[in-house]
Amino acid sequence: MTINYPQGTNLTANSITKKGPTIFGDRGMTLEQEINESNAYYRNHKVAVIYKKPTPIQIVKVDYPKRSRAVIKEAYFRQASTTDYNGVYQGHYIDFEAKETRHKRSFPLSNFHEHQIQHLDSCLQQAGICFAIIKFVTLQRYFVLPAQVLIDFWQSAIKGGKKSIPLAFIEKKSLEIKAGYNPILPYLDICRQLINQTGENHG
């Protein structure tokens, strides 16, 4: 199945269901699965209400090989996606992107898109708590990178700076998440620290 962005870029069905090759960590789960299960835990325990954002797709071609079955052959994204997740945590609007890489020493900035950076910046201007969760698959390490740090690095790259974020920089500027059991990825513990920092900055 071919799915097209509004600008005309073609994607296969596999590239829609996955943001890259399937990567199995120690738990046999992708970052998206880990976050989704963690969000389910948070909702079930009334800690937060955070969901993965649906991407609106317009179907334009469908085949019916059998009467009881339809196969989508072509579809279009109605609009470019923003970030992966948003919701509410203790009265605060939460908005973040989730990315993973097999690189060991840096994270390619090309994994982000300009409209995602602009969206995070707009949310920050409305006092949202915004960040990116980055997973180094091979290292089995998870980081919460504050959106403002990501935005500043992006703007520096546009002016000729580095096109990949070094791991050492991420270690210095991010907060690391230690994977657990319930939830699998307790990223809201880090989110609470970001909220506290935001309060101090506005105090």
The model's pTM: 0.76
Kindly report, residue by residue over 60-89, the tens digit of the pLDDT: 677 777 766 777 666 554 555 689 999 999
189 marked as binding residue: no
Query: In terms of DSSP H, where are the helices of the chain?
Result: 13-17, 31-44, 114-125, 147-158, 167-173, 187-201
CB 94, CB 147: distance < 8 Å? no
- Residue-averaged pLDDT of the chain: 83
Burial of 164 per CB tally in 10 Å (0-12, 13-18, 19+): middle
Kindly report, residue by residue over 123-163, the tens digit of the pLDDT: 999 999 999 999 999 999 999 999 999 999 999 999 999 99
Positive/negative CA dihedral, 148, 133, 20, 136: positive
**Within 10 Å of residue 56's Cβ, how many Cβ atoms?**
10
DSSP for 125-140 reads: HTT-EEEEEEEETTTT
CB 145, CB 154: distance < 8 Å? no
- Domain 31-200: give its CATH architecture: 3-Layer(aba) Sandwich (3.40)
82 marked as binding residue: yes
More confident residue, 13 or 176: 176
Burial of 54 per CB tally in 10 Å (0-12, 13-18, 19+): exposed
97 marked as binding residue: yes
C-alpha distances in Å from residue 39, one per residue of 35, 47, 132, 188: 6, 9, 15, 10
